[in-house]
Amino acid sequence: MSSNRPRVPRLRLDVASYVRLRQQVLCRDGWRCQSCGTMSNLEVHHEKFRSRLGDDSEANLITLCSFCHAAKHR
């Protein structure tokens, strides 16, 4: 059974563009983990995982510390 809907390609940025977007997200989120509020060991997390067809859009990214980021992946 095939779908008649056209496939919409997900946004997947090149490395340089992703680095710029990552900085944008960190700045947008005030350089704080959006879960616990810490300002150290920050990482950018895909809310909808790439492995589940999440894209590299600002709307899909959030700043988390390494501890909270690891917890999201458990």
Q: What is the pLDDT of residues 14-73, one digit of tens each?
A: 889 889 999 999 999 999 999 999 999 999 999 998 777 788 899 999 999 999 999 998
For residue 4 the two structure tokens come to 């008649």
- Which DSSP symbol is given to 32? S
For residue 20 the two structure tokens come to 């710029």
pTM of the model: 0.78
State the Cα–Cα distance between residues 60 and 44, nearest whole angstrom.
10
